[in-house]
Amino acid sequence: MRSILVVNGPNLNMLGVREPEVYGSETLADIESRLSELALELDLQLEFVQSNYEGDLITKIHEAYATKDGIVINPGAFTHYSYALRDALSSVALPAVEVHLSNIYKREEFRHHSVTAPVVLGQISGLGSYGYELALMALVRYFEEKGE
Ligand code: DQA
């Protein structure tokens, strides 16, 4: 069974409360429980992590090296400026999919640039929490195509 680390960055613990018109009314726990159900169907093992601290996220990504098969990550605002997170993702070189609940390209200018996008397989932006489900499906497809 393949193992995926699902990472959520700063402020995503506030989902449900935080700007529901932008991020929806589901909590992170709601999203994680739906992903757990999907993981059963997709035969994936998931580990969830959320942190508001850059270093914690980096350490978790490092720990994924040699223990996980892939990463789904919503880096929150770190998307736009954390070269350290980007370097962590490229260091472990695991297939990763970047997810944003909101369409970052429709929002403020500072959100239009992702420093992490160049080191991931692909990015899903603006499809709400469905983006996380699509990210898991995309990783499964990636493993199949690689013949793993
Ligand atoms: C976000 C978009 C980021 O710009 C923002 O800082 C977030 C959430 C999203 O999921 O849409 O925290 O990553």
**Segment 3-59, tens digit of pLDDT:** 999 999 999 999 998 889 888 889 999 999 999 999 999 999 999 999 999 999 999
Question: Could you tell which of 27, 54, 79 is best to mutate to test the pocket of ligand 1, judged by most ligand atoms within 8 Å of the CB?
Answer: 79
- Indicate the domain borders of the chain: 2-146
Ligand 1 surroundings by CB, under 6 angstroms: 11, 74, 76-77, 79, 100-102, 104, 111
CATH value of 2-146 in 3.40.109.10, 3.40.50.9100, 3.40.50.300, 3.20.20.100: 3.40.50.9100
pLDDT value of position 148: 59
Which residue's CA lies nearest to atom 13 of ligand 1?
76
Distance 46 CA to ligand 1 centre (A): 22
Question: Could you tell which of 15, 104, 105 is best to mutate to test the pocket of ligand 1, judged by most ligand atoms within 8 Å of the CB?
Answer: 104
The token duo for 102 is: 């909101």
Residues 102/121, Cβ–Cβ less than 8 Å? no
In the chain, DSSP finds a helix count (H) and a strand count (E) of 5, 5
How many angstroms separate the CA atoms of 80 and 69, rounded? 25
pLDDT one-digit tens code per residue, 61-111: 999 999 999 999 999 999 999 999 999 999 999 999 999 999 999 999 999
| pTM summary value | 0.97
User: What is the three-class DSSP state of 44?
Assistant: strand
Identify any residues that bridge with 146 across adjacent strands, giving them in sequence order.
none
The token duo for 81 is: 């400026």
Residues 116/92, Cβ–Cβ less than 8 Å? no
- In this structure, are strands 96-100 and 70-74 parallel, antiparallel, or unpaired? parallel
HEC string of 51-116 equals: CCCHHHHHHHHHHHCCCCCEEEEECHHHHHCCHHHHHHHHHHCCCEEEEECCCHHHCCHHHCCCCC
Q: Which one-letter amino acid corresponds to residue 1?
A: M
Distance 76 CA to ligand 1 centre (A): 4
Q: Which atom of ligand 1 is nearest to the CA of 107?
A: 4
The token duo for 129 is: 């929490």
Q: Give the DSSP H/E element, type plus range, for residue 143.
A: helix 130-146
- For range 121-133, the mean pLDDT: 98
